[in-house]
A and B are shown apart, each in its own frame.
Chain A
Amino acid sequence: MSTRRKKFSLLLTSLMALTLLVTACGGNNNAASNNNASGSTPSKSEKPVELIWYTVGAPQKDADLVMAEVNKYTKEKINATIKLKMIDFGDYSQKMQVMAASGEPMDIMFTCSWAFDYVQNARKGAFMQLDDLLQNQGKDIVATLDPAFLEGSKVDGHNYGVPANKELPAQEVWRFNKELVDKYNLDITNVKSMESLIPLLKTIKENEPGVTPYAMVKDFVPVMPFDYVIEKLPMAVYLDTEDYKVVNILETPELKETLKTVRTFYKEGFVSPEVSTVTSVDDLYKSGKWLVDRASTQPFADNLWSTSMGYPIVSTPAGDPIIYNWSVMGSMQAISANSKYPEKAMEFLNLLNTDPVLRNMIDSGIEGVHYEKVSENVMKNLDKSKDYDMPTFAFGNVMLTYLNEGDPENKWDEFKKFNESGIDAPLLGFNFDTSKVSTELASVQNVKEEYWAALMTGTVDPDEYLPKAIEKFKAAGLDKVMAEAQRQIDEWRAATGK
């Protein structure tokens, strides 16, 4: 027994010596990395620049392999190489926030309205202002983009990011599980408002006991005629506004009316009784036990949805295609404020958004390894493509990418048509500067989290809870935030002549 104890202490002592040694060695590494200042003699051929690029998505097994190919290509084209670093969706915002705040060396980074918030970080000074770079090194990008992209992504009158050329407006559609639609011969052509869904939902509720008629999640917000100043906070202007007056949507008759309908949905059991805490209805999608839900669409979305669910989906519009700030900022690349090579970075972004070879290499990998070409602009994924599966929308101009086998020939033309059909939202190009009201906003945000989901999903009676919510929002300082928003909007209108 005591020998075991002795052994343990012997182990401890010998390891102690070892670690002291190891940690001492580890300290030397720092000295080695400090040698880049010494190369002061100018070399004849300019040394290629290495650009560090942080972007969103799960790290891929074959990334190093593909990037080696990419670097050969970019070295030749613009004398630059790329160091790509992928950070998965869930970690991206937090990690980038910390790295940007600490001045980590970076050149290019992914930013958007839903992760590593573009407007917020542009205001805080994380990104370089790109107005001049876009005119010079990036002029081909400007030529390919619908002007609304650059207009809508301006922060205080300047561009800080390069939007990806993709679908521009956001249009809400009702999605239907076609098997159930066919089974009960439901007529979906006349569906537009939430009320018009009720007879269909009733049919399913009565005849299909195991089915949740409406697949709703806690984030649900009815389609309303508003352009929000901040997404999901109850201050907005009407979409058809003339005077740009900021209203509290909770006090509008439209919302009151709609909430009554949603409440009916809840009471009739069209949605899950726990909808206000449901973050995902993935199990419904997998089992096909739902009739309808709502999603934002893009051309040929029905096909994509049908493929990913494994059964046919049909959809019908629930609103108009409208170009919001957030839809414009769906995917962007920005240049870090501390980048040493902003011109090179823009040259690279320019190439990425205009050169099909580079764009497809980054997106799909190496031809013959990860994919093979079927024709000029159609490709087929090979088995190895699972080791290099990139989120296409996050890497710039989507319309340069090859079509997959089975994609309609006119896919990108339809995208262009869709983009042209978009209607500008009134606040397109206006971005609220929250710094003067950040205290109030923090309180308002907490009130919102408390009441929003319960109200919007119909879980609570609007007659009782709507006045409560309005009062609590007021107490938290919503009026002050709205007044500040109004002031900034008026200023913005005066400056832009809207």
Chain B
Amino acid sequence: MSQRKKKERDFHNLSTPMNISFNLIAGIFSLLCVFPFLFVVIISLTDEGALANNGYRLIPEKWSFSAYQYVFDMGDSLIRSYGVTIFVTVVGTIISLLFMSFYAYAVSRKSFKYRNFFAFFAFFTMLFNGGLVPTYIVVTQLMGLKDTVWALILPLAVNAFYIMILRTFYSTSVPDAIIESGKIDGAGEFRIFLKLVLPLSLPGLATIGLFSTLGYWNDWFNALLYIDNPNLVPLQSMLMRIETSMQFIMQNASNSSLSLEALRSLPQDTSRMAMVVLATLPIIFAYPFFQRYFISGLTIGAVKE
């Protein structure tokens, strides 16, 4: 621990004025990013009547918790949605890290004869896709995933974009010499990958892991397509369903029977914001989790031992 501190001090011999200005720049931008979210929190705590009268305000005329009341009234369906989202995010991230770290490693190795073919094989899918209907058919009819939790996991498991990033991480942060030395020591390819390559490319893996986590957490579209069972609907999908239905009904307000019946069951503005807060808060903690692996200044000697 003490060794680490010392190293950090050595590494960051930033002059004080520069440090201050760096802090200012990053701080202001960060504030700019946090501000709207704070605004969401404030709106979710605004009294519905005050909101209709005054519009969005930083300091509302009247505070109220009733928006959260509405959300908590959903009770077990909210908890179940959390459960689905968390399960899908955790399992999905693990699966995609596995698939992608293997694939990217193989295509990063110069000794792999087919590396260019497989790099292209992945890259091509970034640009061309079959569209909604064919994909739907493959997932539901060929694989029979409709209304299963796998329909939320597998379609997002592999992403060519991430593979390309990961490949670059491997090839920049793992010098060939290390792999060669592993070979000389008589280690097999798998052993080299696990013992030498993975530890060296942790920041890269953490980045992709983070992106996967966020991708799974934020995904609502797969649920829209593949899930009919209300018990399998993830959080974002529930939120999105309410958003889009709300917009739809508003836009069809001239349709008398629709607007008369559907309008009354619509949640208020504030409740939607409360849902945004509840859907976002937990995932904010994902970033610090992955951040831990952004450990700076890894020296190659440390791995070689």
Contact = CB atoms under 8 A, between A and B. Distances in A.
Nearest to A113: B255
Nearest to A304: B260
Nearest to B147: A85
Nearest to A26: B150
B263 A166 contact: no
A330 B257 CA distance: 8
Contacts of B49: 286-287
A90 B250 contact: no
B243 interface: yes
Contacts of B156: none
A389 B265 contact: yes
Interface stretch (A5-13, A135-143, A374-382): A5-13
Interface in B81-105: 91, 94-95, 97-98, 101
Contacts of B293: 5, 8
Interface string B234-269: 000000011111111111111111111111110001
Interface stretch (A98-106, A153-161, A422-430, A481-489): A98-106
B194 interface: yes
Given A16-B98, A90-B248, A297 B256 contact: yes
A330 B243 contact: no
A482 to B, nearest CB: 25
Interface residues of B, number: 63
A331 B257 contact: yes
A102 B137 contact: yes
Nearest to A221: B254
B155 interface: no
Given A102-B141, A296-B256, A297-B256, A89 B248 contact: yes
A12 B98 contact: yes
Interface string A28-41: 01100100000000
Nearest to A391: B261
A8 B202 contact: yes
A431 to B, nearest CB: 19
Interface in A228-254: none
B9 interface: no
Nearest to A60: B230
B257 A166 contact: yes
Interface string A95-121: 100110111100000000011000000
A392 B194 CA distance: 61
A1 B224 contact: no
23 contacts: A1-B4, A1-B295, A8-B198, A8-B202, A9-B195, A12-B101, A12-B198, A13-B194, A26-B148, A88-B245, A89-B244, A89-B245, A89-B249, A90-B244, A90-B246, A90-B249, A98-B132, A98-B225, A217-B253, A283-B55, A287-B49, A295-B253, A308-B264
Interface of B: 4, 48-49, 51-53, 55, 77, 91, 94-95, 97-98, 101, 132-133, 136-137, 140-141, 143-144, 148, 150, 194-195, 198-199, 202, 224-225, 228, 230, 241-265, 269, 292-293, 295, 302
Interface of A: 1-2, 4-6, 8-9, 12-13, 15-16, 19, 23, 26, 29-30, 33, 57-59, 61, 85, 87-91, 94-95, 98-99, 101-104, 114-115, 166-167, 170, 217, 219, 279-280, 282-284, 286-287, 289, 294-298, 301, 304-305, 308, 330-331, 389, 391-393
